[in-house]
Chains A and B, each alone.
Chain A
Amino acid sequence: DSGVTQTPKHLITATGQRVTLRCSPRSGDLSVYWYQQSLDQGLQFLIQYYNGEERAKGNILERFSAQQFPDLHSELNLSSLELGDSALYFCASSVVAGTNNEQFFGPGTRLTVL
């Protein structure tokens, strides 16, 4: 158990809908990262937050947004869902943001868009 929690574990929804994925980092970790893992693309970085502020942005679609709250949990919002958004979404956390520090991964949320 990494100490990072993600909810829900599984999510099945329809095209056009909007969902929210939630992540709670390890106790004491200030940085949260979101990753998408699809069958054809592998793991890809979406976005990073550090202590409530956006720190880095990757291949995140405009339909997707995220935030980190004062209690350091983070939410990833996916809207106008398409079939291609079906993937595993992982959250990871680390103590600090920019240094070469280990990231601890949550169990992931499996999103299926029908």
Chain B
Amino acid sequence: KNEVEQSPQNLTAQEGEFITINCSYSVGISALHWLQQHPGGGIVSLFMLSSGKKKHGRLIATINIQEKHSSLHITASHPRDSAVYICAVRSGNTPLVFGKGTRLSVIA
């Protein structure tokens, strides 16, 4: 079974800072997902990637398959980015395995 580790567990940043959240996994995967969970509990899918890099607005996700590592970057962070960010991986047709999440607080 894949083990998914995220770091840091908690992160506090000042508005405008560049933020990086890391995700490592133990077994080769077919896809990696980054999810955002708002304080109210709702979950939004941010990215799904299996190689390279994806960008959406101020969010960038990268993955290094050889190193079994992915990063989520937030540029020009804003208080509305405050949420829990969750990494999840999938190997073949197996169900998603989730990391424990990174709690981000962005202070104005």
Task: List chain A residues, Cβ under 8 A from B94.
Answer: 56
Distance from B102 Cβ to chain A, minimum over Cβ atoms (Å): 12
Known A-B contacts A42-B101, A43-B88; A98 and B43 likewise in contact (beta carbons under 8 Å): no
**Complex contact B45–A44 (CB within 8 A):** no
Which residues of A35-84 are within 8 A (CB) of B?
Answer: 42-45, 48, 56, 58
| CA gap between A107 and B40 in the complex, in Å | 9
A88: CB under 8 A from chain B? Answer: yes
Residue of A nearest to B4 (CB): A42
The prevalent SS among residues of A at the interface is strand
Task: List chain B residues, Cβ under 8 A from A2.
Answer: 44
| CA gap between A45 and B94 in the complex, in Å | 10
B96: CB under 8 A from chain A? Answer: yes
Residue of B nearest to A48 (CB): B95
Q: Which of A98, A103, A110 contacts B96 (CB 8 A)?
A: A103
**Complex contact A105–B90 (CB within 8 A):** no
Q: Which of B33, B42, B45, B99 contacts A42 (CB 8 A)?
A: B99
**Complex contact B43–A105 (CB within 8 A):** yes
| CA gap between A101 and B31 in the complex, in Å | 9
Q: How many chain A residues have a CB neighbour from B under 8 Å? A: 23
**Complex contact B95–A33 (CB within 8 A):** yes
B100: CB under 8 A from chain A? Answer: yes
Which residues of A90-114 are within 8 A (CB) of B?
Answer: 90, 92, 97-98, 100-105, 107-108, 110
**Complex contact B31–A90 (CB within 8 A):** no
B41: CB under 8 A from chain A? Answer: yes
**Complex contact A108–B88 (CB within 8 A):** no
Q: Which of B33, B35, B93, B98 contacts A98 (CB 8 A)?
A: B93
| CA gap between A45 and B33 in the complex, in Å | 14
> Which residues from chain B sit less than 8 Å from chain A, CB to CB?
30-31, 33, 35, 41-45, 48, 50, 86, 88, 90, 93-101
